[in-house]
């Protein structure tokens, strides 16, 4: 007998350093007006020299556990979606396991670029469905600023660093809700539209040796924009049909946060009012696989997600990859902890 899984904890962590559009304009041929008009992004976060994808992920994981009221020792699986790991190996998930004290958890990463969190979430849900896992941490974490070409204003203005996490567990017998629909797609023939340079990058050729510190993101912006709008809208309609739902049944859509115009165009195709598509990209930019879990944590903290709400998640990324998921929201025990412990009175420490 298969078991449905539900999200019972959420958490996000973003670095303290803020890089505004005006900051960028000091060394890139751009302006705040140019960036905001084309993307909706006003600022993004940048990891410090002492931070890595795994340290961001561990912080988000701790907050997801705190919001659920669950100890790390009760986690038996950690899956991280990332395309900017600390290194080739060990996996980011393995480093998180050690950092948070989840000694009994199995760990591995998945890479589907910006669709990575949905891929990780769908994978972890299968472990719960078969009974192989009771509680699973699913993380999306990235340090995208470390693969930016800071002379290319068409890409470097878009991305930021951050991490988000959710805690999954089986839906108790007799209760409803949880994850109820999923679709994932990919098209490797279009890989050259969005990729990061490296030994295996499209066109690199056999024997190419590109050092990790020289890797950078390459994107055909116009083509990616068109594919993103169409693919996310079609995947959303497909998963709604599978779940026996329509766009009118949705309480909130949490899409990949890549570009305000992409989200608006996708929402228009679904016939959704603007306020039903959650957006926080103006503060963080595109954090790749971290955008959806960061948005979920903030939506919970803001009171936008309530038990029983029908939610749609959708994403698009390099590969090309795309997908969508529907779920019925479960109660979060301590929603205020999703963004971290509140700062003490008189303290300069923030929840970030």
Position 202 scores a pLDDT of 52
**147 shares a domain with 193:** no
**189 shares a domain with 324:** yes
Helical packing angle, 32-39 and 260-270, nearest 10°? 20
Pairwise CA distance, residues 250 & 246, whole Å: 7
**166 shares a domain with 207:** no
**129 shares a domain with 73:** yes
Position 119 scores a pLDDT of 98
For 352, the token pair is: 């970030």
Position 48 scores a pLDDT of 96
How many other C-beta atoms lie within 10 A of the C-beta of residue 184? 18
**pLDDT bucket at 211, cuts 50 / 70 / 90:** very low
DSSP letter (8 states) at residue 175: -
For 241, the token pair is: 């049909």
Which residues touch 234 (CB under 8 Å, ≥6 apart)? none
Q: Which of 6, 25, 294 is nearest to 163 (CA)?
A: 294
Q: What is the pLDDT of residues 154-188, one digit of tens each?
A: 999 999 999 999 999 999 988 878 999 999 999 99
Chain position carrying tokens 């998963």: 239
**96 shares a domain with 24:** yes
Residue 349 lies in a domain: no
Pairwise CA distance, residues 154 & 237, whole Å: 30
Residue 158 lies in a domain: yes
Catalytic residue among 114, 216, 259, 314: 114
Residue 202 lies in a domain: yes
Is residue 334 flagged as an active site residue? Answer: no
Strand pairing category for 135-143 and 77-81? parallel
Residue 348 lies in a domain: no
Is residue 286 flagged as an active site residue? Answer: yes
What's the rounded mean pLDDT across residues 102-116?
98
208 has a pLDDT exceeding 80: no
Is the alpha carbon torsion for 190, 192, 197, 203 positive or negative?
Answer: positive
**184 shares a domain with 71:** no
Catalytic residue among 21, 111, 259, 286: 286
Position 351 scores a pLDDT of 60
Q: What is the pLDDT of residues 3-42, one digit of tens each?
A: 899 999 999 999 999 999 999 999 999 999 999 999 999 9
Residue 350 lies in a domain: no
Residue 137 lies in a domain: yes
The count of structural domains within the chain is 2
Position 342 scores a pLDDT of 60
Give yes or no for a contact between 36 and 260, defined as CB atoms under 8 angstroms apart: no
Q: Please, what is the Cα angle at 215 between 226 and 138, to 5 degrees?
A: 70
Pairwise CA distance, residues 289 & 29, whole Å: 28
**144 shares a domain with 12:** yes
Q: What is the pLDDT of residues 324-335, one digit of tens each?
A: 999 999 999 999
For 344, the token pair is: 């003490």
Position 57 scores a pLDDT of 98
206 has a pLDDT exceeding 60: no
**228 shares a domain with 93:** no
- CATH code, domain carrying 308: 3.40.47.10
Q: What is the pLDDT of residues 57-85, one digit of tens each?
A: 999 999 999 999 999 999 999 999 999 99
Pairwise CA distance, residues 159 & 299, whole Å: 21
Position 203 scores a pLDDT of 52
Is residue 216 flagged as an active site residue? Answer: no
Task: Name the phi and psi angles at 39, rounded to 5.
Answer: -130, -30
**155 shares a domain with 191:** no
Range of the domain at 324: 180-328
**312 shares a domain with 193:** yes
Q: Which residue has the higher pLDDT, 242 or 205?
A: 242
Pairwise CA distance, residues 343 & 349, whole Å: 6
Give yes or no for a contact between 3 and 171, defined as CB atoms under 8 angstroms apart: yes
Which residues touch 107 (CB under 8 Å, ≥6 apart)? 77, 78, 79, 80, 91, 93, 94, 96, 97
Pairwise CA distance, residues 89 & 13, whole Å: 23
Residue 347 lies in a domain: no
Q: Which residue has the higher pLDDT, 173 or 265?
A: 265
212 has a pLDDT exceeding 90: no
For 37, the token pair is: 């008009």
Catalytic residue among 216, 256, 259, 314: 256
**101 shares a domain with 74:** yes
**173 shares a domain with 28:** yes
267 has a pLDDT exceeding 70: yes
């Amino acid at each position: 007998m298969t078991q449905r899984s539900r999200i019972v904890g959420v958490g996000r962590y973003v670095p303290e350093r803020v890089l505004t559009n005006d900051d960028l304009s000091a060394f890139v041929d751009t302006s705040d007006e140019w960036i905001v008009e084309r993307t909706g992004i006003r600022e993004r976060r940048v990891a410090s020299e002492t931070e890595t994808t795994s340290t961001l992920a561990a912080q988000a994981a701790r907050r997801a556990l705190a919001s659920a009221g669950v100890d790390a020792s009760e986690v038996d699986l950690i899956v991280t979606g990332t395309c900017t790991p600390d290194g080739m190996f060990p996996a980011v998930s393995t480093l998180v396991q050690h950092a948070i004290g989840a000694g009994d958890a199995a760990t591995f990463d998945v890479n589907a670029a910006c669709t990575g969190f949905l891929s990780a979430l769908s994978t972890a849900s299968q472990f719960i469905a078969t009974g192989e896992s009771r509680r699973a941490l699913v993380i999306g974490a990235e340090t995208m600023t470390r693969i930016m070409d800071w002379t290319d204003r068409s890409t470097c203005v878009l991305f930021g660093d951050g991490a988000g996490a959710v805690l999954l567990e089986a839906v108790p017998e007799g209760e409803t809700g949880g994850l109820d629909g999923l679709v994932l797609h990919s098209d490797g023939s279009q890989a050259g539209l969005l990729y990061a340079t490296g030994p295996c990058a499209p066109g690199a050729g056999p024997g190419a040796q590109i050092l990790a510190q020289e890797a950078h993101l390459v994107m055909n912006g116009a083509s990616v924009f068109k594919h993103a709008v169409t693919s996310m809208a079609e995947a959303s309609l497909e998963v709604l049909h599978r779940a026996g739902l329509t766009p009118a049944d949705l309480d909130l859509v949490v899409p990949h946060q890549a570009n305000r115009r992409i989200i608006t165009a996708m929402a228009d195709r679904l016939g959704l009012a603007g306020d039903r598509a959650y957006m926080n990209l103006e503060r963080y930019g595109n954090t790749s696989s971290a955008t959806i879990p960061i948005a979920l944590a903030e939506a919970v903290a803001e009171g936008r997600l309530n038990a029983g709400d029908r939610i749609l998640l959708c994403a698009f990324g390099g590969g090309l990859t795309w997908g969508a998921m529907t779920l019925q929201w479960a109660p979060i025990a301590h929603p205020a902890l999703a963004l971290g412990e509140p700062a003490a009175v008189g303290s300069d420490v923030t929840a970030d």
